[in-house]
């Protein structure tokens, strides 16, 4: 999973957790806020009523009712105010206040109210008795409190959800912007790199110190690898060149010695065995020199090569070997594919090595299939399949290592130096193609060449 995706998932899950916590915590908090707000309103109304009594006198309220009790309800019965005289036994003292919830009958209905109750001596206008105590009650319907609570709760939840969604998008956008240099580093510098020479040493445009250090470290590492690769190629090329001359001289001397009629037969057999060893050495040296020349771009890619024609030429060249083992051949390249900017000789060598292996490691009377098909994503896929013993899964990734052989060894085992597949892979990379192996024990092996579109 990409780093940007992980960051996006983490941000999304953290915001979801925040929303869940908000859903759990907001209702009681909002409920408490609504109650405190209602209590504050009740105290404000109490202050207003006391101010009116102090200014106009208590008689202004009580004269409206003949029993010296004042009561007022608003039209929706959501609020009320009552002033009730207390009995003569109530002592004169400081005002007492409490807030509580209680059902009250309003007309023919019973409503739940939050009530502020205050017992205090009222009066204040000239001539009024200020020693008598009255109970002042100011009530607010709990329906109003619940309405306020629902409104605040809905508003808070919508704000929370909208804020979380907004932060998810902003975090994703910022992470996308922040990780842009890393994506560029992966896509432009690392993806598709087969050798250090293909690495781009152009510096990334970023002001993030970590990405800058990563880019510089990769560039330094690639320069070291490129230097090592170049030294290795130069060494292999020089050694191959130097070894060809003495092996040719030794081959000529052996041939001259064999032409001596006085040479004893045991010595002649020893010289012939030495010639075989020398022949294998020359082939190995020439193969290494070929690999070095290909990796050093000493071959031209100036031709358009038909795969169907190249396969036909190779199969004709190997036809005698194939018929000796009674191996059937099926070729189906539909349609043909012309490799642009190719080297005909190297492509011939590539297909010859693959078909030669298919013959060498197939069983008597087996079959070889050469199939070619366009890929849906572009390019062309060429498959060379045999019915041999197959290759163990652990050995498949190591097939293209030089001087490795995983097939059966012994007196009857086919000869080989472990360089055929490395040559084929080097030629494939030279043509910007990919060579891979697919194998199953007991069912055969398929080598696939994917040509880029």
Contacts of residue 46, defined as CB under 8 A and 6 or more positions apart, other chains included, come to: 97, 116, 118, 136, 138
pTM exceeds 0.85: no
- Reduce the DSSP state of residue 341 to 3 states and report it: strand
Q: Please tell me the distance from the alpha carbon of residue 275 to that of residue 264, in angstroms, as a whole number.
A: 17
Query: Minimal CA–CA distance to 70: which of 57, 279, 441?
Result: 57
Q: Tell me the CA distances in angstroms from 88 to 85, 349, 356, one per residue in order.
A: 9, 124, 124
Contacts of residue 359, defined as CB under 8 A and 6 or more positions apart, other chains included, come to: 318, 321, 322, 325, 327, 368, 386
Beta carbons of 433 and 427 less than 8 angstroms apart: no
Q: Please tell me the distance from the alpha carbon of residue 257 to that of residue 74, in angstroms, as a whole number.
A: 133
| Res 125: pLDDT | 47
Print pLDDT tens along the chain (453 aa).
Answer: 666 677 777 777 887 887 788 778 888 888 888 888 888 888 888 888 888 888 877 776 765 444 566 666 665 667 888 888 877 655 555 567 888 888 887 767 788 888 899 887 776 544 455 567 788 888 888 877 787 788 878 888 888 888 888 888 888 888 888 888 888 888 777 776 766 777 777 888 888 888 888 888 888 888 888 887 777 777 767 776 677 778 888 888 888 888 888 888 888 888 888 888 887 787 777 777 777 777 777 788 888 999 999 999 999 999 999 999 999 999 999 899 999 989 998 999 999 999 999 999 898 999 999 999 998 888 899 999 999 898 888 888 888 887 666 554 444 444 544 678 888 998 998 888 999 999 988 889 999 999 986
Quickly count: other Cβ atoms within 10 Å of residue 399's Cβ.
22
Q: Tell me the CA distances in angstroms from 99 to 39, 384, 434, one per residue in order.
A: 8, 92, 84
- Reduce the DSSP state of residue 297 to 3 states and report it: coil
| Beta bridge pairs of residue 138 | 81, 116
Query: Minimal CA–CA distance to 121: which of 97, 82, 93?
Result: 93
Q: Please tell me the distance from the alpha carbon of residue 447 to that of residue 385, in angstroms, as a whole number.
A: 7
| Beta bridge pairs of residue 369 | 330, 385
β pairing state of 367-374 and 338-342? unpaired
Contacts of residue 434, defined as CB under 8 A and 6 or more positions apart, other chains included, come to: 428, 449, 450
Beta carbons of 398 and 404 less than 8 angstroms apart: yes
Q: Tell me the CA distances in angstroms from 429 to 109, 347, 360, 445, one per residue in order.
A: 92, 11, 24, 21
One DSSP character per residue, 12-35 reads HHHHHHHHHHHHHHHHHHHHHHHH
| Res 89: pLDDT | 57
Which two three-digit tokens encode residue 366? 């087996």
């Amino acid at each position: 999973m990409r780093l940007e995706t992980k960051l996006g998932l983490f941000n999304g899950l953290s915001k979801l957790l925040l929303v869940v916590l908000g859903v759990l915590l907001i209702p009681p908090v909002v409920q408490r806020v609504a109650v405190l707000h209602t209590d504050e309103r009740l105290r404000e109304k109490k202050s207003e009523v006391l101010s009116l009594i102090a200014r106009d006198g208590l008689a202004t309220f009580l004269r409206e009712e003949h029993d010296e009790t004042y009561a007022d309800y608003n039209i929706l019965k959501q609020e009320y105010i009552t002033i009730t005289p207390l009995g003569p036994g109530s002592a004169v003292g400081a005002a007492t206040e409490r807030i509580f919830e209680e059902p009250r009958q309003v007309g023919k209905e019973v409503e739940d109210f939050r009530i502020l109750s205050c017992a205090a001596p009222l009066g204040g206008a000239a001539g009024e008795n200020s020693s008598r105590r009255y109970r002042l009650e100011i009530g607010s319907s709990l329906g109003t409190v619940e309405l306020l609570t629902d409104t605040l709760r809905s508003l808070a939840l919508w704000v929370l959800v909208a804020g979380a969604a907004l932060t998810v998008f902003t975090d994703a956008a910022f992470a996308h912007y922040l990780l842009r240099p890393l994506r560029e580093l992966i896509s432009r510098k690392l993806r598709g790199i087969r050798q250090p020479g293909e690495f781009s040493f152009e510096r990334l445009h970023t002001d993030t110190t970590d990405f800058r250090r990563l880019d510089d470290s990769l560039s330094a590492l690639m320069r070291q690898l490129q230097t090592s690769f170049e030294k290795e190629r130069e060494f292999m090329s020089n050694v191959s060149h130097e070894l060809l001359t003495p092996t040719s001289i030794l081959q000529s001397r052996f041939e001259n010695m064999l032409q001596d009629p006085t040479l004893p037969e045991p010595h002649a057999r020893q010289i012939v065995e030495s010639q075989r060893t020398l022949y294998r050495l020359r082939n190995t040296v020439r193969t290494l020199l070929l690999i070095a020349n290909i990796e050093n771009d000493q071959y031209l890619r100036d031709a358009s090569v038909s795969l169907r024609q190249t396969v036909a030429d190779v199969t004709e060249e190997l036809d005698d070997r194939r018929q000796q083992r009674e191996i059937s051949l099926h070729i189906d390249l539909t349609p043909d594919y012309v490799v642009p900017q190719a080297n005909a000789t190297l492509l011939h060598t590539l297909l010859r090595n693959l078909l030669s292996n298919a013959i060498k490691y197939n069983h008597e009377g087996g079959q070889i299939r050469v199939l070619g098909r366009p890929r849906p994503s572009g390019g062309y896929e060429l498959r060379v399949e045999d019915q041999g013993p197959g290759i163990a899964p652990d050995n498949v990734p190591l097939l293209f290592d030089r001087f490795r052989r995983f097939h059966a060894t012994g007196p009857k085992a086919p000869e080989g130096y472990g360089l055929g597949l490395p040559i084929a892979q080097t030629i494939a990379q030279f043509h910007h193609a990919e060579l891979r192996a697919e194998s199953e024990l007991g069912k055969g092996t398929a080598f696939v060449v994917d040509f880029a579109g």
